[in-house]
Amino acid sequence: MPGGGPLIQRKKSDAPASSPSTFPSQLFCRLMIKQAVRVIEDCYDIGKFKEIAQLYGGYTNFSFKLTTQTGNRFHKYLLRIYRQGTPVEHICFEHSLIEHIVANGGHMVAALVRTREGANFARRPVPNAGTSEDLLYSVFEFIGGEDKYSWTSNRLSDEEYTYSGRMLADLHNCAADFDPGPLESLHQPILKRLSALPANLDRCAERAQKSCFDQYFLKNLPDILAISQRTHDQLTQATDLPIIGIHGDFHPGNQKYNLNRVIGVFDFDRACLDLRLFDVALAVIYFCSCWEANTDGSLWLRKTPLFLRAYQKGACRSDNPGPLTTEECDFFFPMVTAANLSLIKWATDETYYLERENCPDKEYLYYLKHHVRLMRWLEKNRSKVERVLQKALFPC
């Protein structure tokens, strides 16, 4: 899910704490770096190892920028070490979707580099961890460009909003006919998440203590539950909407930029098979919700049409899934609400109450407040938002 927000900058000195339930502390010692280097030398034909540097910005996995050399040429790659406990089936699902997108011309995505044996990851024991668990390593091509934004620092230029909308459409065009076969994603489709949300949040309430996060969560829980039930009831009426392989976390911090253009997309940790409409609605939340003090928890209604018109134009270049349909437009507003609720679920059930010892109260309270404010803003401004969506998607 989202990368570090404004309360803490995800740099080396702020690397997320580790615990036996997440990543071993040895990841931050020389031994772990040496093991990563050995994986490259033992398992991959990508040249002679020259340099490795850890990349900071995410909450889930650990990533490193690699430099290798063949002859007089230097090459850059991304090495990813997956979080302990991530199901192998989900990693294979993610990699299968990436390879499908690349095979369909999706050069905005970093291609997976397979091992000498043709595997999509290498497996190594956790060094000095006293556990039988393994770490899984994968290598990808490196996307150049600039890291300009995050999910909370999202005021793009108008041109970047347009390129971002077009990029999501191109991604969907390349992913539309993806068939995962027996592979399954770790992440459930949005309707299943909404259906399970009341029980998830009730369990969170049982674990609540007396922190500032707990107090705010419990105070707003009745409204969250009421709106989630109403939203679920509305969306269950939607039938036959396009289902495709989606990115699931398409936000400004998961893109690379060059000269006001989007040149690449990364981080498919939340990929799954789901309604295409959810991926677009979630992108609207990420790109167009304001985090700035005076207007925090509202949508930038002037920016939203820039993104959506570009998406529609880009989606018209393919029949599958094609541009958003009139039926998808009819359910766009409740899906935007559902997308925002999914981020409330992330901040509470999936993160804070699951790994409380690693979640700073004030940081996660900042996230939760934003999305609760946005939830209420959407309820209050529904008619205005629906008019903007309708005009952006079907201007004629």
- To 10 degrees, what angle do helices 303-315 and 382-393 make? 40
| CA–CA dist 169, 319 (Å, integer) | 12
Per-residue model confidence (pLDDT) at position 129:
61
Per-residue model confidence (pLDDT) at position 128:
66
- Checking if the pLDDT of 392 tops 60, the result is yes
How many C-beta neighbours within 10 Å does residue 20 have? 12
Least confident of 83-97, 129-143, 213-227: 129-143
Per-residue model confidence (pLDDT) at position 32:
73
Per-residue model confidence (pLDDT) at position 382:
97
| CA–CA dist 224, 119 (Å, integer) | 44
- Checking if the pLDDT of 26 tops 50, the result is no
Structural domains of the chain in order of their starting residue, each with its CATH number: 12-141 (3.30.200.20), 158-393 (3.90.1200.10)
Higher confidence at residue 308 or residue 125? 308
**pLDDT tens for each residue of 253-268:** 999 999 989 999 999 9
Per-residue model confidence (pLDDT) at position 10:
40
Per-residue model confidence (pLDDT) at position 84:
80
**pLDDT tens for each residue of 40-80:** 999 999 999 999 988 876 667 888 999 999 999 999 999 99
Per-residue model confidence (pLDDT) at position 139:
97
Find, among 176, 107, 116, 167, the residue nearest to 143 by Cα. 107
Per-residue model confidence (pLDDT) at position 58:
65
Residues 262, 167 contacting (CB under 8 angstroms): yes
| Tokens 């000195």 -> residue | 13
Q: What percent of the chain has pLDDT over 90?
A: 80
6 pLDDT tier (thresholds 50, 70, 90):
very low
The Cα-based distances of 374 to 8, 167, 177, 338, 344 in angstroms read 22, 25, 34, 12, 10
- Checking if the pLDDT of 8 tops 90, the result is no
Residues in CB range of 9: below 8 A, 6 or more apart: none
| CA–CA dist 378, 384 (Å, integer) | 9
Beta-strand ranges (E) seen in 200-354 are 243-246, 255-258, 261-265, 272-275, 289-290, 298-299
The Cα-based distances of 267 to 98, 138, 248 in angstroms read 10, 13, 9
| CA–CA dist 223, 210 (Å, integer) | 20
- Checking if the pLDDT of 22 tops 60, the result is no
Per-residue model confidence (pLDDT) at position 62:
83
Residues 19, 26 contacting (CB under 8 angstroms): no
Helix, strand, coil percentages (3-state) for the chain, rounded to 5, are: 50, 15, 35
Residues 252, 149 contacting (CB under 8 angstroms): yes
**pLDDT tens for each residue of 329-341:** 999 999 999 999 9
Strands 112-113 and 73-81, by their bridges, are unpaired
pTM (2 d.p.): 0.92
Per-residue model confidence (pLDDT) at position 391:
93
83 pLDDT tier (thresholds 50, 70, 90):
confident
Residues 315, 283 contacting (CB under 8 angstroms): no
**pLDDT tens for each residue of 155-214:** 999 999 999 999 999 999 999 999 999 999 999 999 999 999 999 999 999 999 999 999
Residues in CB range of 284: below 8 A, 6 or more apart: 299, 304, 307, 308, 336, 339
Per-residue model confidence (pLDDT) at position 23:
43
**pLDDT tens for each residue of 234-244:** 999 998 899 99
Give the pair of three-digit tokens for residue 293: 């003090």
As a whole number, the mean pLDDT across the chain is 90
Per-residue model confidence (pLDDT) at position 340:
98
| Tokens 């230029």 -> residue | 157
Query: Residue 257's beta-bridge partner residues?
Result: 146, 262
Q: Which amino acid is at 140?
A: F
Task: Give the length of the chain.
Answer: 396
Buried b (16+ CB within 10 A) or exposed e, 307-339: bbbbbbebbeebeebbbbbeebbbbbbbbbbbb
For residue 187, report the phi and psi dihedrals to the nearest 5 degrees: -100, 130
